[in-house]
C-alpha cells in the first residue's frame, strides 16, 4: 500500500466517500446504505494490515456505542453492528474503493464458532462476498477465526490503533 500522511488520508477519504457509498449501496443492504450516518470511531482513515493493507474507518450503530470505550467495551448487545469501509491507494496515486467489512452481534447460541458475530463483506461492485451462516459462509470463516484468536476475551472485538481513535 502507498503510505499517506494523516492529512493525505483524510483528503483521500473525503474524495472517496461518495464513491464508496455508491458502490456499497448497489448491494441493497441496509448497512451499506446507513453506516456513514453512524458514529465514526476513527479520526482518520488508517492502514489495516488485517484488511488487506487497505485504508479503513470504523463505524458503529447506536447499539454498538460501547465500542467507543475500546478495550473496556465489554460484550456487545444483540443488534450491535460495526462496519469498516475501505479504499486502496495503488502506484501512481490511483485510488480504488475496497470492500465494506461488517460484523453484527447475534443472539447467544447463534454460532459459537464466531462468538455469535455474523460477518459479511460487500465488494466494491455491490456483490456480497460472503455472510456467516449464509452465502459463501466459508469465505467469512477467516474473519471470525482471526477475531476470536486475537480477542476472545474482548468479545472478538479488535480495536483501531490509539492514535486513530476519536476522543
Global pTM reads 0.95
Task: Report the C-alpha gap between 124 and 27 in whole angstroms.
Answer: 9
Q: Per residue in 6-46, pLDDT tens?
A: 999 999 999 999 999 999 999 999 999 999 999 999 999 99
In sign, the C-alpha dihedral spanning 36, 98, 53, 73 is positive
At residue 10, φ and ψ (nearest 5 deg) are -65, -45
Separation CA 85–CA 100 (nearest Å): 5
- Tens-digit pLDDT profile for residues 78-135: 999 999 999 999 877 799 999 999 999 999 999 999 999 999 999 999 999 999 999 9
Residue with more model confidence, 136 or 91: 136
- The CB-based long-range contact list for 67-72 (8 Å cut-off, 24+ gap) reads 67/41, 67/157, 68/39, 68/41, 68/166, 70/159, 70/165, 71/154, 71/159
pLDDT band at 77 (very low <50, low <70, confident <90, very high): very high
Amino acid at each position: 500500500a502507498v503510505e499517506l500522511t494523516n492529512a493525505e488520508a483524510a483528503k483521500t477519504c473525503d474524495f472517496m466517500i461518495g464513491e464508496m457509498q455508491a458502490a456499497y449501496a448497489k448491494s441493497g443492504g441496509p448497512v451499506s446504505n446507513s453506516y456513514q450516518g453512524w458514529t465514526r470511531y476513527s479520526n482518520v482513515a488508517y492502514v489495516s494490515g488485517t484488511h488487506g493493507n487497505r485504508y479503513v474507518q470504523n463505524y458503529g450503530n447506536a447499539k454498538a456505542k460501547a465500542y467507543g470505550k475500546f478495550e473496556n467495551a465489554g460484550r456487545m448487545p444483540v443488534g450491535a453492528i460495526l462496519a469498516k469501509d475501505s479504499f486502496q491507494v495503488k502506484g501512481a496515486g490511483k485510488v480504488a474503493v475496497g470492500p465494506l467489512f461488517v460484523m453484527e452481534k447475534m443472539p447467544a447460541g447463534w454460532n459459537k464458532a464466531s462468538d455469535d458475530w455474523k460477518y459479511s463483506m460487500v465488494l466494491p461492485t455491490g456483490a456480497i462476498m460472503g455472510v456467516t451462516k449464509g452465502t459463501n459462509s466459508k469465505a467469512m470463516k477467516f474473519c471470525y477465526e482471526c477475531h476470536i484468536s486475537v480477542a476472545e476475551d474482548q468479545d472478538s472485538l479488535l480495536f483501531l490503533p490509539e492514535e486513530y481513535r476519536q476522543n
